[in-house]
Amino acid sequence: MFQMERWLMLPASLNPVAQLSCEALRLGCEAYSLMGLRLFKMATGGVPAVSEALRMVPEKITALIDAQILIAASVLSGRPDLALGRVVDLYRERVNDNEQRLTA
């Protein structure tokens, strides 16, 4: 318990829990923005709606599988504490790729 209290008292730049929370918040904001962009593009005809809808499902399944592989690799390497950060980074990368594709 004392160790957790020490982490919570660190400045935000040194606190791994605060850093992960901020990264997860950024991911949520970026994903929310991407959902709005995707729906707007589909509704206005900027992207064919059927093909975009069919593309979303395999993308989400692939991202889930890649996240599970990252978690398993982190656990097997003896560093399970890095798994959450790596998964957030993976999803932020995928969201960024989709945003780039939809805005091009």
Prediction pTM value: 0.81
Per-residue pLDDT at 17: 82
CA atoms within 13 A on the CB side of 88: 17
User: What's the structural domain count of the chain?
Assistant: 1
Q: Give CA–CA dist 49/51, Å, rounded.
A: 6
Domain of 47, in residue numbers: 2-103
Q: Which two tokens stand for residue 62?
A: 């692939």
Q: Give CA–CA dist 45/48, Å, rounded.
A: 6
* H or E stretch covering 72: helix 49-76
Per-residue pLDDT at 41: 87
DSSP 5-66: HHHHTS-TTT-HHHHHHHHHHHHHHHHHHHHHHHHHHHHHTSS-HHHHHHHHHHHHHHHHHH
pLDDT digits over 29-85, tens only?
Answer: 999 999 999 999 888 887 788 888 889 999 999 999 999 999 999 999 999 989 999
